[in-house]
Structure 1
């Protein structure tokens, strides 16, 4: 059970209502994490802008950023973020088979060498203590320029925040990402844990 109740649209200002509506239009729901952050409106608003700048701007394909965030969330253990990133990976055209194969990314034919290099940063960057090494960056530099590397590391860092937020708050998982995760990886024994 969540430690704090997400706020309703009627409890926030117009800027946050617009932000909640944007999420509803692009994802089919507004994340409870954002609605909980809204108790301090500037945290929610600034988070929304940072999320936009990291995940939806730049030249790294959005599908890959979603998979990097999924890998980072798997490494950290946050089931809320695992579900959200399974959902967003699906929205950005990652097939269920690829989402389910994320732990086998190093050997699965579903992933390119460039994707493997980026997902390695996601897994190792989401691990505590951080396990990213110089050779991981050497490999990443074969496929991505320095600006794109900033996007990839920013994705991992954004989910460092979200993984800690949602696991600490025991944020309740919404119905839509839960259904997508069940469809994509339910056969692996995945469950929402404290987020259900």
Structure 2
């Protein structure tokens, strides 16, 4: 495992930031390391938190749950590609546990994006995506 260039702060001295850390722990179950790392520059930490709040506002048809799912998909994309195609040497996307989860919960709508950003714009549906991936496009 690689060591971080900047360690997250263990305890924030800023009471307002501590309140936000507590909020994250209560709502997400943890405080993202990015917030704790950004605390070295409190203005950046606050700006990041405000941006996150703005993104998570529900002013349209995209729910908070779907936004979190999309964030999770993007955060785990490379690990899943490596796991499905590299480390386990399988060509069957559906054999990947992460892939099964997304097929189950979103009917495969996020699957192409989850698996490979560089061909998502070419694919018209999941089967087309499989063909493009097999062809190395």
Alignment of 1:81-160 (within 5 A): 101-104=97-100, 108=103, 110-113=104-107, 116-124=108-116, 127=117, 130-133=118-121
- Contact 1:72 / 1:122 at 8 angstroms: preserved in 2? yes
- Contact 1:68 / 1:119 at 8 angstroms: preserved in 2? no
- State the partner residue of 1:14: 15
> Which ranges in structure 2 are unaligned for 5 or more consecutive residues?
81-95, 126-137
**Structure 1 residues 121 and 133, CA gap change in structure 2 (3 angstroms):** same
Deviates further, 18-27 or 50-59: 50-59
> Which ranges in structure 1 are unaligned for 5 or more consecutive residues?
79-99, 140-196
Higher RCO (Cα < 8 Å, 6 or more apart): 1
Q: How far is 1:7 from its partner? A: 1.5
- Contact 1:23 / 1:30 at 8 angstroms: preserved in 2? yes
**Structure 1 residues 55 and 6, CA gap change in structure 2 (3 angstroms):** same
Count the aligned residue pairs.
107
- Contact 1:6 / 1:32 at 8 angstroms: preserved in 2? yes
**Structure 1 residues 121 and 41, CA gap change in structure 2 (3 angstroms):** same
- State the partner residue of 1:75: 77
TM-score using structure 2 length: 0.57
Q: How far is 1:16 from its partner? A: 1.7
Q: How far is 1:68 from its partner? A: 2.0
User: What per-residue deviation string (whole Å, max 9, x for no partner) do you get for residues 76-118 of structure 1?
Assistant: 339xxxxxxxxxxxxxxxxxxxxx8441468x4x2455xx334
Q: How far is 1:60 from its partner? A: 1.6
**Structure 1 residues 29 and 71, CA gap change in structure 2 (3 angstroms):** closer
TM-score using structure 1 length: 0.43
Deviates further, 28-37 or 56-65: 56-65
For the aligned residue pairs, the C-alpha RMSD in angstroms reads: 3.1
Q: Distance in 2 between matches of 1:111 and 1:30?
A: 25
Structure showing greater radius of gyration is 2
Q: How far is 1:40 from its partner? A: 1.3
**Structure 1 residues 71 and 112, CA gap change in structure 2 (3 angstroms):** closer
Q: How far is 1:29 from its partner? A: 2.9
Q: How far is 1:9 from its partner? A: 3.5
